[in-house]
């Protein structure tokens, strides 16, 4: 059975792409309609309409390849990698890692209860990382520990609680060994 909140989240991420495609199609339709001008009988109106249609198509001839190149470049990265860790009572912590261009990686941890299908984001980090770096560990049924490496200026966020689950985030400087016990940071938020 599909999880409707998660399906809506994926559909919501596609809306800007669909709106851009629809806008381009309507723009092309308007230009073609002006060039064809099917009901205009007067010569000067037909010539004016065709000139306006060609003027509308000229920026599209330059802009459309740039838009398509931007979309291709934006979608050319490797697919997101995922790892799931289950607690004894069935709570699911899911790590999602997307490798970005020039170290603009994005790591996210979501939680989902055993009777729920909606994933809730409890941790995210933007900056140089790798798939095996963030460690997820259920200390018990009510405590999730996330250990990771980051730079001081990396945008990141860690929630402390979700329902009856406490989230503990341990951060170490990038390039050092594993996060130590004294590095516990229950909540860390940096906004660029």
pLDDT tens-place string over residues 98-151: 877 666 788 888 888 877 777 788 888 887 777 777 888 888 888 888 888 888
- The DSSP code for 127 is S
Rounded to the nearest integer, the mean pLDDT of the chain is 77
109-135 per-residue burial string, b: 16 or more CB within 10 A, e: under 16: bbbbbeeeeebeebbbbbbbbebebbe
For residue 171, the model assigns a pLDDT of 80
Q: How many Å apart are CA 59 and CA 156, to the nearest integer?
A: 40
pLDDT of 175 reads 67
What is the pTM assigned to this prediction? Answer: 0.57
Q: Tell me the pLDDT tens digit for each residue of 171-189.
A: 878 766 555 444 444 444 4
Cβ–Cβ < 8 Å for 77, 100: yes
Q: Could you give the dihedral angle defined by the CA atoms of residues 23, 24, 28 and 30, in that order, rounded to the nearest 10 degrees? A: 20
């Amino acid at each position: 059975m599909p999880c409707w909140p998660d399906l809506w989240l994926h559909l919501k991420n596609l809306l800007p792409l669909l709106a851009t495609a629809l806008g381009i199609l309507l723009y092309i339709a308007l230009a073609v309609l002006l060039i064809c001008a099917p009901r205009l009988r007067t010569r000067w109106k037909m010539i004016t309409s065709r000139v306006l249609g060609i003027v509308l198509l000229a920026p599209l001839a330059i802009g459309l390849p740039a838009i398509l190149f931007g979309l291709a470049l934006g979608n050319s990265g490797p697919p997101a990698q995922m790892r799931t860790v289950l607690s004894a009572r069935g709570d699911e912590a899911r790590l999602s890692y997307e490798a970005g261009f020039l170290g603009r990686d994005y790591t996210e941890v979501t939680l989902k209860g055993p009777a729920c299908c909606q994933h809730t984001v409890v941790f995210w980090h933007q900056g140089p990382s790798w798939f095996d770096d963030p460690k997820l560990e259920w200390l018990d049924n009510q405590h999730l520990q996330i250990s990771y490496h980051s730079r001081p200026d990396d945008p990141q966020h860690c929630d402390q609680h979700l329902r009856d689950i406490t989230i503990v985030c341990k951060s170490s400087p990038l390039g050092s060994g594993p996060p130590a016990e004294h590095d516990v940071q229950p909540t860390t938020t940096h906004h660029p």
